């Protein structure tokens, strides 16, 4: 089984591909895709959706695990991220993936057992749960790995 984990964004998009084979999970790809801040939002959204399509075409996942929005104080940013999420979900469904959405609370609970854990706790335990053979620069990539691992935690019978 192959899972695509996404931490949605249009400035930086966290992406992770996790494979579960013989009851072992492995990160086979992770990346932070960045768009140019000088580009208009619609172009950036197009680039993100196109990138997700390329990742799906290359790795052929069966499932998309994507973080639900946590609304912060910047309503414009939240609206734009919601639009990007919609574009990503559309691409995933268009290519036949089942879509699963998780809140930050559900992700933290799946990784640490406690929904109010801080980022350091999540990161520490995530590194214990799954083998990652690379240096990761941005939290967006870690978040994408976490949301993919969350899918595995909540869907053990698949």
Could you write out the three-class secondary structure of 78-93? HHHHHHHHHHHHHHHH
Is the pLDDT at 6 greater than 70? The verdict is yes
Is the pLDDT at 71 greater than 80? The verdict is no
Active site residues: 7, 67, 140
> CA 71 to CA 46: how far, in whole Å?
22
What's the pLDDT tens digit per position in 125-146? 999 989 888 899 899 999 999 9
Name the nearest CA neighbour of 52 among 119, 18, 5, 116.
5
Question: Above pLDDT 70, what percent of the chain?
Answer: 97
The structural domains of the chain, with segments of one domain joined by +, span 2-154
> CA 136 to CA 142: how far, in whole Å?
7
> CA 105 to CA 155: how far, in whole Å?
17
> What is the CATH number assigned to the segment(s) 2-154?
3.30.420.10
């Amino acid at each position: 089984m192959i899972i695509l984990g996404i931490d949605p964004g249009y400035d930086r998009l966290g992406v992770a591909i996790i494979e579960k084979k013989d009851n072992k999970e492995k990160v086979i790809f992770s990346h932070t895709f960045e768009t140019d801040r000088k580009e208009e939002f619609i172009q950036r959204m197009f680039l993100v959706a196109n990138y997700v399509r390329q990742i799906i075409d290359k790795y052929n996942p069966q499932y998309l695990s994507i973080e639900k929005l946590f609304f912060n104080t910047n309503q414009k940013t939240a609206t734009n991220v919601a639009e990007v999420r919609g574009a990503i979900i559309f691409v995933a469904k268009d290519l036949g993936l089942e879509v699963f959405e998780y809140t930050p609370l559900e992700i933290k609970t799946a990784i640490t057992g406690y929904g109010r854990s801080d980022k350091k706790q999540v990161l520490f335990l995530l590194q214990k749960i799954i083998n990652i053979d690379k240096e990761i620069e941005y939290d967006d990539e870690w978040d994408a790995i976490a949301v993919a691992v969350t899918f595995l935690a909540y869907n053990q019978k698949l």
